[in-house]
Structure 1
Amino acid sequence: MLECSVDERHCYYSILQEQQSFKKQGIFTPTFAEFTTNNIEHNLQIMEDRGVTFPVICKPTIAHGSKSAHEMIVVFNEKGLSVCKSPCVVQSFVNHNAVLHKVFLVGNRYHICERPSLKNFYSSDDLEPIFYSTGEVCKADSQSTLSILDPHDKSDVQMKLDEVKVRHIIRVLRKEIGLLLMGFDVVLDNETGNHAVIDINVFPSYDNFPNFFEHFLDCLDATVNGVDISKVSNGDSKEEFEEMSNCNGLINVGTQPHIGVTGMYIHS
């Protein structure tokens, strides 16, 4: 298990990029580079060495715990790199038709939410960087113009998230990182359909997580008492038990009835 500080975005990306099993299943994390200096020539060389291509998303190295961690920049060309202030990470942008899938984990239980996201972007020598906050673009009720697809990008073909791949990502992250409360963001490459893990969220906001308190308390109890939290609760039917068993102990709580409190924020 590789230990990462909660603020090291590049460390989590490294974990994802090193997973050989991802490549076999059409899962990947976009190429990225860490900037520790504001020297553009030096940073361009790092990008070339690591295979990072424009456009890129510039993200703060700090991935958690502050508003600034969610402030991003779309950079289309070399001159735009002047706005990327170290320490930061630049990540090759994957066109995904403005659809983001957020996966929230509580122990072995997970929930998937579909959210709006950035529209498709392409490298350009003319475009200026675009500054945005994920809170303005990727929340459930976001209505940003940055999410409106251009006419030439609209398609009747709808790519579907593969939950088998989602569960594989969960198992890998649980093994490599070991956190009980976390989440990650997945987008589908609009050309290949491959699943790109573009971010890992430590202690995310659990808004819309069904019965969050119940699952959170079960997770705490299991951790303290060494209980297998993949085991079903008293209210689960035989059919539900069999379905959960087929998922190697991972439970999609979004398929169960929503009762009581739906979610909470555990950080500001």
Structure 2
Amino acid sequence: MSNIACWMSEKKIQKINWVEFEKTCKKHGFGLFKLDLNKSLESQGTFCVFLHKLTDIIASADQGDPKCAKLIERVEEYIRGHPTLVVLDPIPHVRQLLNRYISYRKINSTNLHKYGIFIPNFCELNSTNLQEQLTNAGVSYPFICKPSLGHGSKEAHEMSLIFNERGLADCRTPCVAQSFINHNAVLYKIFIVGERHHFVERPSLKNFHACDEDTIYFDSSDVSKAGSRSSLTLLEPHEIFDKVEPNPEVLKRIAVTLRGEFGMDLLGVDVVIEKDTGKYAIIDINSYPGYDGFPDFYDALVDCIGKRVKCKTDKFGDDFIN
């Protein structure tokens, strides 16, 4: 039986049904075990697949944490020494998503704009001449101020809504500023697993406009979690109307394009529909999301893994490691 070695943080492990995941792997002909990064990877037996959520460790390593750097170096050395190993997802590809500015630029370089899909104007703010940087990038008020680092700590989700030039003093640079798009407090999360995708509806920030209000601080993971009843997500009575259902074909176009652009199988994309134009706006992207609400997720994941294994088997033949 081929083995899948899995590494995730204890927090993420607790959120999954390990018994069900293990059972699904077995049904597809795979063994499953938890990899210990603090031990020699060679000593933990042979495995043909490495499934991981290393984003926080990679981010910390890139920020200069010596312990995390050593762990990632050990993993990358093992991967280099085992070219037949299937890695979901390749570490260099995951690194593309660690910095929001870099990932937004990559999204902006795709052809999605041809289909009326866009990413709201954004720029990376440094410590001086903030208004000039915003003006040059076409970022308007109000805008969302996001940490440049999209992973690595709880702070990655701590954001602020800046309404005016006075609020620029509240920006914690370096950060990414992105024009806020009114979208009637509805967010769509696209979950991508290889060739499959599924979207769910989540609460989001209500409509806001440039004004003299003070900066609003919020945690994006709290505001947009299922069942959230934050005051920031409740529309005014005059704004409540019949909701426009999203076009599945547009969301599919986004899923297929971004999976190809980033070269990854496990992605989450946050999409909103602009209130006045009906256009689709991509406001964030992340690696290996929570997949809460994805039907038969473990079957989809193991099916994706199986296809990746088959590709490697076809390429390496008898040299493939089982």
Under TM normalisation by the shorter chain, which class is it?
0.7 to 0.9
Q: Aligned residue for 2:99? A: 8
Aligned AA (1:166):
L
Tell me the matched-pair count: 220
In the alignment, does 2:241 pair up with 1:155? yes
Partners of 2:267 and 2:177 in 1: CA distance: 22
Q: Which runs of 4+ in 1 moved over 4 A?
A: none
Offset of residue 141 of structure 1: 1.5
Partners of 2:311 and 2:153 in 1: CA distance: 33
Cα deviation, 1:214-268, whole Å, max 9, x if unaligned, reads 11111112112218xxxxxxxxxxxxxxxxxxxxxxxxxxxxxxxxxxxxxxxxx
Q: Name the larger-Rg structure.
A: 2
Cα deviation, 1:156-206, whole Å, max 9, x if unaligned, reads 3x2221111111112221221111111101100010100001111112112
Cα deviation, 1:5-51, whole Å, max 9, x if unaligned, reads 331111111122223x32232111000010132x2xx1111111110
Q: In structure 2, the residue corresponding to 1:102 is in which secondary structure?
A: strand
Partners of 1:211 and 1:108 in 2: CA distance: 14
- What does residue range 35-184 of structure 1 map to in structure 2 within 5 Å? 35-37=125-127, 39=128, 42-124=129-211, 126-156=212-242, 158-184=243-269
Q: Aligned residue for 2:83? A: none
Q: In structure 1, the residue corresponding to 2:124 is in which secondary structure?
A: strand
Q: Aligned residue for 1:25? A: 115
Aligned AA (1:76):
F
Instruction: Give the one of 175, 189, 199 matched to 2:284.
Output: 199
Aligned AA (2:107):
L
Whether the aligned pair in 1 keeps the contact of 2:145 and 2:162 (CA below 8 Å) is yes
Aligned AA (2:103):
Y
Partners of 2:269 and 2:119 in 1: CA distance: 11
Whether the aligned pair in 2 keeps the contact of 1:64 and 1:202 (CA below 8 Å) is no
Cα deviation, 1:58-94, whole Å, max 9, x if unaligned, reads 1111112421111110110011111111121010000
Give the TM-score normalised by structure 2: 0.65
Partners of 1:65 and 1:99 in 2: CA distance: 27
Query: Could you tell which deviates more after superposition, 202-211 or 130-139?
Result: 202-211
Partners of 1:148 and 1:65 in 2: CA distance: 30
Give the TM-score normalised by structure 1: 0.78
Query: Could you tell which deviates more after superposition, 93-102 or 167-176?
Result: 167-176
Whether the aligned pair in 2 keeps the contact of 1:76 and 1:128 (CA below 8 Å) is yes
Q: Percent identity?
A: 43
Aligned AA (1:150):
E
Partners of 1:5 and 1:51 in 2: CA distance: 24
- Uncovered stretches (5+) of structure 1, i.e. residues with no partner: 228-268
- What does residue range 209-248 of structure 1 map to in structure 2 within 5 Å? 209-226=294-311
Partners of 1:90 and 1:185 in 2: CA distance: 16
Partners of 1:147 and 1:208 in 2: CA distance: 20
Return the structure number with greater helix share: 2
